[in-house]
Structure 1
Amino acid sequence: MTTNPWPGEWMRGVLDLCVLAVLAEGRTYGYAVAARLDELGLGTIKGGTLYPLLARLEEAGHVTTHWEAGDGGPGRKYFALTAAGRAALAARADAWRTFAALTTTITSAATAPPAVDAAVDAAVDAAAEPATGAPAGRPPNPQEPR
């Protein structure tokens, strides 16, 4: 597993949504949820974070659980998404997309690459050209046809 590449406050805000999304792929056990999140790029999710979250999702009625005997080892607790969990996933995913788009809009303006800034400046200059058709900042030449 990798380390966590994301700030903790981001993880706290999105982890329940991501866990619901992984569980929407099919029933699975806790370690497999953590491995899948890591595989998808979210980074290492520790058991001390994941299992209490899964318990909260169960208490909220978003997941059901059942135990299965292990092959020569301890049993595993499997988690499956409920209809309420699917509804919560859909609502939260929709809200997240809106929030992410808003955040992108706000931060893009402040962090636009120089090429974008130059294009915006050119568009502003073009809009500021006088009706004579002369480039902004240059007086019209009476010798040029209009």
Structure 2
Amino acid sequence: MAINKELLKGTTTLLILQLLDEGDKYGYQMVKELENRSQSLFTLKEGTLYPILHNLEAERMIEAYWEETEKSRKRKYYRITKNGKKLLVDKKTEWLAYSKGVAGIIGGGAYGELGSC
């Protein structure tokens, strides 16, 4: 089932911050982890991810650093900042309130069956 891009757009920052709250990651690693953990429901293109990362970095929600890999290649990693952690809490609170409201209208709770369509 493909997810409407407008729905994904509203949650991408939340998902990225959550991944980085769990540990530092590089871009492609985030793309693959989102895809794997969502059972391929969230398939971000790197061209979508990097502008979001750059905006979060400009807003000081995350910071980047370079690290050398075992093959002597440099890889750019991202980590969440204190401000990013605060934003993550706000985004989670907002998402939980939103999903609770939607579930109250369509029924079945967040993971339950849909009501009559």
Is TM > 0.5 for Structure 1 vs Structure 2? yes
C-alpha deviations, 1:79-98, integer Å up to 9, x for none?
A: 00000000000011001100
- Higher strand fraction: Structure 1 or Structure 2? 2
Instruction: Tell me how many residue pairs correspond in the alignment.
Output: 110
**Where does the alignment leave 5 or more consecutive residues of structure 2 unmatched?**
109-113
CA distance in 2, matches of 1:81, 1:43: 21
Given the two structures, how large is their TM-score scaled by the length of structure 1?
0.69
In structure 2, the residue matched to 1:94 is 93
Q: CA deviation at 1:73?
A: 5.3
In structure 2, the residue matched to 1:44 is 43
Once superposed, what is the RMSD of the aligned Cα atoms? 2.0
Q: Which amino acid aligns with 2:32?
A: A
C-alpha deviations, 1:84-138, integer Å up to 9, x for none?
A: 00000001100110011001111229x525xxxxxxxxxxxxxxxxxxxxxxxxx
Structure of greater Rg: 1
Runs in 1 of length 4+ with deviation above 6 angstroms? none
In structure 2, the residue matched to 1:13 is 10
Q: Which amino acid aligns with 2:48?
A: T
**Where does the alignment leave 5 or more consecutive residues of structure 1 unmatched?**
114-146
Q: Which amino acid aligns with 1:93?
A: K
Percent identical residues: 29
CA distance in 1, matches of 2:101, 2:5: 21
In structure 1, the residue matched to 2:83 is 84
Name the SS for the 1:95 alignment partner: helix
Given the two structures, how large is their TM-score scaled by the length of structure 2?
0.86
Higher relative CO (CA 8 A, sep ≥ 6), structure 1 or 2?
2
Q: Which amino acid aligns with 1:45?
A: L
